[in-house]
Chains A and B, each alone.
Chain A
Amino acid sequence: MDTVLFIVFAAVAVACAVNLILQKHPISSALSLVGVMGSLAVLYLLLGAEFMAVTQIVVYAGAVMVLFVFVIMLLNTGQETGGGKSWFAQVAGLPLLLAFIALMGLLICGPLMPRLRAVQFGSWHGGTARAIGRAIFTDYLLPFEVTSVLVLIAILGAVVLARKEID
């Protein structure tokens, strides 16, 4: 059951991600990104991270995607026409991409994985709101407070940048 769920939702996530960069219209890309976020929430649930799954849905599929769709509608950008790709990029890009994938595969399947135990749903209940709240408000209290300053700066920056008289 776990394996089936993992395969289905990992495949949905990858398919939606591919669709994201293949679609010509930004709204289609945004809907694909919602699919990726929802599938990732299910993967978090399978890993026992319940609070992270809910946060993923609320923050990403809710807030961030509404922001993206809002901007797409506001700017009214139409379909994207194919641009001129550089000759050098086409020649040099593919070997570099293959080298990057090979290096990452080597790292993942190599010495980075100490010991593999199977991921079973319900085998670990560490991702509850209680445990994460305890970690955030004791061990990571200072980063948490710094994050609030960061969010405040982001709010101010967004308000100043999107104001009417910008020039």
Chain B
Amino acid sequence: MTTVSPLHYLIVSAVLLVIGTLGVLLRRNIVVILMSIELILNAVNINLVAFSHLHRQVNGQAFVLFVMAVAVAEAAVGLGILIALFRNRGTVLADEMDLLKW
């Protein structure tokens, strides 16, 4: 393996996606869960940039810009919700927030 093809970038992206999903599922701290969601969105961005390079078109990178904007908005709102939750409930652990659980 002397040359790197877009396939290898897709493999890196898939590995990061699986790790991010594991972080969302396994961790209890909501801050770490939000970080894992950022990791998943970055894995998607690698895919878009790799396909942009493969097809020699810049559209994929424009999509990456939109994904970044959505990710930043999601992080800001998510952390705002987390601060409000911490002020009311006094915890940041996901399994202790069971107000809606039946």
Which of A48, A132, A161 is within 8 Å of B81, CB to CB? A161
Main secondary structure of the interface of B (DSSP, over half): helix
Q: Is the interface of A mostly helix, strand, loop or mixed?
A: helix
For window 1-33 of chain A, which residues contact chain B by CB distance below 8 Å? 2-3, 6, 10, 13-14, 17-18, 20-21, 26, 29-30, 33
Measured CB to CB, the nearest residue on chain B to A135 is: B62
Q: Report the separation of the CA atoms of residues A37 and B57 in the bound assembly, to the nearest whole angstrom.
A: 23
| Chain A interfacial residues counted at CB < 8 A | 81
Q: Give the number of residue pairs across the A-B interface with Cβ within 8 Å.
A: 223
Residues of chain B in range 71-93 having any CB-CB distance to chain A below 8 Å: 71-77, 79-84, 86-88, 92-93
Interface footprint category on B: 35 or more
Q: Which residues of A contact B71 (CB under 8 A)?
A: 64
Whether A13 touches B38, Cβ cut-off 8 Å, given contacts A68-B79, A157-B77, A158-B77, is: no
Cα distance A59–B41 in the bound complex, in angstroms: 13
Q: Which 7 A-B pairs have the closest CB atoms?
A: A154-B73, A161-B80, A118-B3, A21-B23, A158-B80, A116-B5, A162-B80
B interface with A by C-beta (< 8 Å): 1-12, 14-20, 22-23, 25-29, 31-32, 34-36, 38-39, 42, 45-46, 49-50, 52-54, 56-59, 61-62, 64-66, 68-77, 79-84, 86-88, 92-93, 95
